[in-house]
Amino acid sequence: MTDTRPLGADEATFIAAARSGDTARFALITERYRRELHVHCYRMLANYDDAQDMTQETFLRVWNKRESFKGHAALRTWLYRIATNACLDFLDKRNDRIPVPAELPGAGSEVHYLQPYPDLMLPEDPQESAVARETIELAFIVAVQHLPPRQRAVFILRDVLGWPASKAADALELTVASVTSALQRARVTMREQLPDRRLDWRRPATHELSNDERGVVKSYIDAHERNDLDGLMALLRDDLRFTMLPDPGTVTVTAKDAVDGWVSGGLFQHGYDDWRCTATTVNRMPAAALYLRTPDDPEYRLFTIAVLHVVNGKIAELTGFDATDKPWLGLSPTLSSDKGPVVDESSARAAVTEVTAE
């Protein structure tokens, strides 16, 4: 079943560009959708690099299929359909992109290929593009990965983008009954994965950090720069969920166990004691970019990024990512030993956009 609607301006312009073979005009029309399609692919794949590849694949398919578009559906709908199926084709070929089944010991929320998403790359109009904070946070992205690929697609199209069952069925070449059944199963899994979270994904959510979140990040940075293990432990909930990627595993540990683990891993000792940190956000979550200076280096070099989920003034989840060789994060690779850089958001956005367009 396809939509029946009057031909809109975008659709008419797209059809005209497709028929003329005008690549510049075609690119101008489709480029405005790049960021929201990239976010869509990221939700499907949980990996920034893979999402970038599949966004590029989407635009290649759009160009190759351009003459098949008749304007019966909105251009945005057609683009999302192509992007979704590009991701499904990718997942069909990449079995390692399926997390360990949750019933296995130690499986939990292991998604070893998870990467953070830079806020600078989010669409500038989050409401229009359905980028609510709660649907880009790491816990949500991880939970979605525990859905089989087609359930995942149904869930995102229906409960995140708000598509009616008939439109989702058309996009995925399924029956409405199959879509309804898949959505019901997906919702059960999401409730199991996120038992303490609100599950009404389409309800508007705040995009700003709370005062609690800002305060915890400031305290975390202060403790880290002072090598204050007691100060770090005081910020952690006793039932902390801790992950350091790309190392495998998500574990629930006590605050003391987390600190003991950091000590045994060499934090604040053996050349790992000279830190500078800056506050940032990724996945619309509070984060700290950690820079390390070794004794023979005049500069602090980007080391990791710690993404924090704050509940009632304490860190409930801490996810650490290797931040090296990821220019798309928009973070300075170094900090000088005397003075930190002034963050120019427009320059950072331009740098990230340049990397993404390559």
CATH assignment of 211-357, among 3.40.50.720, 3.10.450.50, 3.40.50.2300, 3.30.700.30: 3.10.450.50
Lowest mean pLDDT across 33-47, 66-80, 93-107, 109-123:
93-107
> Which positions ≥6 away from 356 have C-beta within 8 Å?
38, 52, 121, 328
Lowest mean pLDDT across 25-29, 78-82, 194-198, 229-233:
194-198
3-state secondary structure 250-308: CEEECHHHHHHHHHHCCCCCCCCCCEEEEEEEECCEEEEEEEECCCCCCEEEEEEEEEE
- Residue 287 has φ and ψ, to the nearest 5°, of -150, 160
Residues 170-185: pLDDT tens digits?
Answer: 999 999 999 999 999 9
Residues 32-87: pLDDT tens digits?
Answer: 899 999 999 999 999 999 999 999 999 999 999 998 998 888 999 999 999 999 99
Rounded Cα distance, 197 and 311, in Å: 11
Task: Read off the pLDDT band of 139 (50, 70, 90).
Answer: very high
Amino acid identity of residue 136, one-letter, is I
Evaluate if residue 117 carries a pLDDT over 90: yes
Give the mean pLDDT of 226-246.
Answer: 89
**Residue 347: what pLDDT?**
42
Q: How many residues does the chain have?
A: 358
| 252: β partners | 241
Give the mean pLDDT of 239-245.
Answer: 86
Give the mean pLDDT of 274-283.
Answer: 95
Per-domain residue ranges of the chain: 9-193, 211-357
Task: Looking at the structure, give the CATH architecture of the domain made up of residues 9-193.
Answer: Orthogonal Bundle (1.10)
Rounded Cα distance, 172 and 178, in Å: 10
